[in-house]
């Protein structure tokens, strides 16, 4: 197989850059945090006992504007904020921190609060688990006919954590390479038995926390000629934003790009589904080099992110981000509505506001940026686009549209909900025009009942 050499001035001149990770234990050690007041650091300790953070030196030194704390969007994205806990919870944790009680006591209180925060939203666990040989397949979800979501066991953590996200909570430590081989085999067989699957989407956590040789175990199997029907391999990742050195100056960066190149050489699309939350993440030279190198290996970079209060709740921010992406040869793909998990109230943006932000940004860009779709909710029945607000026979409504449906026949269907300025998720909405329920609800109940029987 012809492997195109990957040329990069940075990779060949730079010595490998070592990733340094900081967590809650380092609050009194991270140099940048020592500019905060004593009280601010106490608050950070209190909140982060419940909502752990993890940052690295690249984020600390390149992405956060330390002259604008606490409002800086990248600080809000990566460091826990007092507003993320309800008042009673915050006071309880703060009191424990100030009294300097034992680690165990803090943990116990934190776990109690965590269990009320809905770490597994949208019926993900019960409804989407596929089966092989009549047994449920761990680490896979098959919700939309064409695409299998795959969670490699060794990719369930991230280079840094986003404060609004709970995905890393699934992380479990195991013997990476051996487990990877077994899991890769199950994925291969599943795709082989399902000719309707055209795309495998690796997700996590962040699959690119894995060493290339581990990722290769999964991906190489999928290039087998017997999987002719598999047209694309996608990797959902925040690495270009949180650790762009992954593509440039890690020990195995060149191997990673060669792996991407092999996917392309096999006649398939290799897409990096890159999570960019803010235009600043696209500004550093190494982030730009990362995108350039993925493209030079024949990969496509598609960009998506949720709309998050305190982080990117601004039309100008999105317009600037989409324009930067297009300049760098990346493709704006989705704007998501933040799902119902974690410290939702702090980060939530109403659907009406999300639509304003989306349209305000959309109007500022050319057709090249308008490959983006949104605001979109990944809800139990499917990916639902909030397409607009309209008035029909005197009733103000949201026009909604399925981009993806649990039943493939729903894709493209338009439906209407009563306008509600406070609604921030699909299940807050009521059908318009006096109807009792949305068109898909009866079928969704049937699908649920069927799955329950299968899994029992």
Among 246, 275, 383, 406, binds ligand PLP (CB under 6 A): 383
Among 55, 63, 154, 201, binds ligand PLP (CB under 6 A): 201
Distance CA 133, CA 319 (A): 48
* Dihedral sign computed on CA atoms, order 157, 163, 166, 167: negative
Among 47, 59, 149, 200, binds ligand PLP (CB under 6 A): 149
| Binding of ligand SF4 by 92 (CB under 6 A) | no
User: Which DSSP string do the residues of 265-331 spell out, in sequence order?
Assistant: HTT-EEEEEEE--SGGGGTSHHHHHHHHHHHHTT-EEEEEEEE-TTTS--HHHHHHHHHHHHHTT-E
| Binding of ligand PLP by 297 (CB under 6 A) | no
CA distances to 30, 109, 232, 321, 379 from 96, in Å: 22, 9, 50, 41, 37
Helix (H) or strand (E) holding 189: helix 176-193
| Binding of ligand PLP by 137 (CB under 6 A) | no
Binding string, 248-287, against ligand SF4, x = CB under 6 A? ---------------------------x------------
Residue 450 is given by DSSP the state: H
Q: How far is the CB of 449 from ligand PLP (least distance, A)?
A: 20
Strand partners, 270: 233
Instruction: Give the total of residues touching ligand SF4 (CB under 6 A).
Output: 11
| Binding of ligand SF4 by 377 (CB under 6 A) | no
Helix (H) or strand (E) holding 191: helix 176-193
Residue 93 interacting entry, from ligand SF4, ligand PLP, none, C-beta within 5 to 8 Å by type = none
User: Which DSSP string do the residues of 50-90 spell out, in sequence order?
Assistant: HS--EEEHHIIIII--TTSTTT-HHHHHHS--GGGS-HHHH
| Binding of ligand SF4 by 206 (CB under 6 A) | yes
Distance CA 344, CA 175 (A): 34
Nearer to ligand PLP, 159 or 383 (CB): 383
Residues 186-205 that bind ligand SF4 (CB under 6 A): 204-205
Among 8, 81, 141, 277, binds ligand PLP (CB under 6 A): 141
Among 45, 54, 89, 143, binds ligand PLP (CB under 6 A): 143
Distance CA 337, CA 354 (A): 7
Among 144, 161, 166, 416, binds ligand PLP (CB under 6 A): 144
| Binding of ligand SF4 by 161 (CB under 6 A) | yes
Contact call for residues 20 and 56 (beta carbons, < 8 A): yes
Strand partners, 21: 56
Nearer to ligand PLP, 202 or 247 (CB): 202
| Binding of ligand SF4 by 162 (CB under 6 A) | yes
| Binding of ligand SF4 by 167 (CB under 6 A) | yes
Residues 228-247 that bind ligand SF4 (CB under 6 A): 238
Nearer to ligand PLP, 76 or 376 (CB): 376
Q: How far is the CB of 167 from ligand SF4 (least distance, A)?
A: 4
* Count of other CB atoms within 10 angstroms of residue 433: 11
Contact call for residues 55 and 22 (beta carbons, < 8 A): yes
Contact call for residues 360 and 419 (beta carbons, < 8 A): no
Nearer to ligand SF4, 168 or 439 (CB): 168
| Binding of ligand PLP by 237 (CB under 6 A) | no
| Binding of ligand PLP by 308 (CB under 6 A) | no
Interface ranges with ligand PLP (CB under 6 A): 141, 143-144, 147, 149, 201, 378, 383, 403-404
Interface ranges with ligand SF4 (CB under 6 A): 158, 161-162, 165, 167-168, 204-206, 238, 275
């Amino acid at each position: 197989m012809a492997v195109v050499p990957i040329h990069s001035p940075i990779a060949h001149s730079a010595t490998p850059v070592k990733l340094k990770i900081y967590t809650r234990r380092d609050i009194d050690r991270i140099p940048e945090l020592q500019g905060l007041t004593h009280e601010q650091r106490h608050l950070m300790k209190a909140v982060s006992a419940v909502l752990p953070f993890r940052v690295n030196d690249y984020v600390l030194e390149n992405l956060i504007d330390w002259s604008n704390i606490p409002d800086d969007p990248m600080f809000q994205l990566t460091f826990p904020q007092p507003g993320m806990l309800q008042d009673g919870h915050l006071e309880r944790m703060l009191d424990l921190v100030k009294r300097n009680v034992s680690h165990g006591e803090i943990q116990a209180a934190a776990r109690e609060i965590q269990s009320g925060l809905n770490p597994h939203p949208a019926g993900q666990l019960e409804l989407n688990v596929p089966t092989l040989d009549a047994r449920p397949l761990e680490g896979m979800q098959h919700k939309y006919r064409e695409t299998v979501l795959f969670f490699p066991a060794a990719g369930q953590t991230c280079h840094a954590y986003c404060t609004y996200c709970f995905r890393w909570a699934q992380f479990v430590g195991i013997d990476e390479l051996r487990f990877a081989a077994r899991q890769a085999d199950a994925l291969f067989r599943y795709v082989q038995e399902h000719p309707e699957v055209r795309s495998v989407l690796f997700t996590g956590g962040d699959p690119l926390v894995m060493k290339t040789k581990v990722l290769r175990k999964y991906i190489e199997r999928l290039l087998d000629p017997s999987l002719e029907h598999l047209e694309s391999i996608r990797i959902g990742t925040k690495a270009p934003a949180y650790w762009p050195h992954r593509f440039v100056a890690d020990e195995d960066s060149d191997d990673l790009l060669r792996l991407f190149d092999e996917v392309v050489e096999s006649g398939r699309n290799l897409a990096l589904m890159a999570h960019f939350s803010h235009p600043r993440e696209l500004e550093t030279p190494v982030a730009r080099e990362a995108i350039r190198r993925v493209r030079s290996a024949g990969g496509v970079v598609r960009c998506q992110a949720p709309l998050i209060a305190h982080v990117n709740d601004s039309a100008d921010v999105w317009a600037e981000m989409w324009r930067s992406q297009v300049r760098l040869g990346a493709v704006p793909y989705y704007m998501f509505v933040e799902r119902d998990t974690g410290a939702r109230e702090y980060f939530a943006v109403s659907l009406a506001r999300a639509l304003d932000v989306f349209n305000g940004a959309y109007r500022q860009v050319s057709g090249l940026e308008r490959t983006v779709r949104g605001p979109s909710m990944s809800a139990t029945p499917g990916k639902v686009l909030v397409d607009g607000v309209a008035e029909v026979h005197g009733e103000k409504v949201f026009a909604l549209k399925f981009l993806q449906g649990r039943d493939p026949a729903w894709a493209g269907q338009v439906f209407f909900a009563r306008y509600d300025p406070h609604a921030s998720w699909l299940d807050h909405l009521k059908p318009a025009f006096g109807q009792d329920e949305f068109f898909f609800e009866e079928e969704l109940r049937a699908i649920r009942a069927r799955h329950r029987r299968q899994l029992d």
